[in-house]
Amino acid sequence: MVRMGSVIAVRPERIDEYKRLHAAVWPEVLQKITECNIRNYVIYLREPENLLFAHFEYYGEDWHRDAGKMAADPVTQDWWKVCGPCQRQLDSVTKGEWWAPMEEVFFHP
């Protein structure tokens, strides 16, 4: 198992919409997350900085394959089209990233 964390900004005028969307995530999206070996997925919001922090545990053997499987899913792509406008990338992301990955620096089980 690998713990993974990432961060992105949320547009202040879209926070309520983002919360509403995530209060009722499409069942097909949740199923795809599970199929891609992701467990214990959580997203936190920090205001007034308007940052979203995501954390999950990856239980698969090939993260790039599973991430590609998720990205290729048409329903997930539609979900991202709905949620994407609520988000704003950080200036520090590299090409191909949306959420900025984070380095784990501490863990206590």
User: What digits encode the pLDDT tens for the residues 22-80?
Assistant: 999 999 999 999 999 999 999 999 999 999 999 999 999 999 999 999 999 999 999 99
Q: Where are any strands of DSSP class E within 13-103?
A: 38-46, 51-58, 87-88, 100-102
Q: Which amino acid is at 97?
A: E
Give the tokens for residue 76. Answer: 């997930």
Q: Where do the domains of the chain lie, and which CATH numbers do they carry?
A: 2-101 (3.30.70.1090)
- Indicate the SS3 state at residue 6: strand
pTM: 0.91
Backbone angles phi, psi at 64, to 5 degrees: -65, -40
Question: How far, in Å, CA of 104 to CA of 6, rounded?
Answer: 10
**Residue 97 pLDDT level (bands cut at 50, 70, 90):** confident
Q: How confident is the model at residue 32, as a pLDDT?
A: 98
Give the tokens for residue 92. Answer: 């520090």
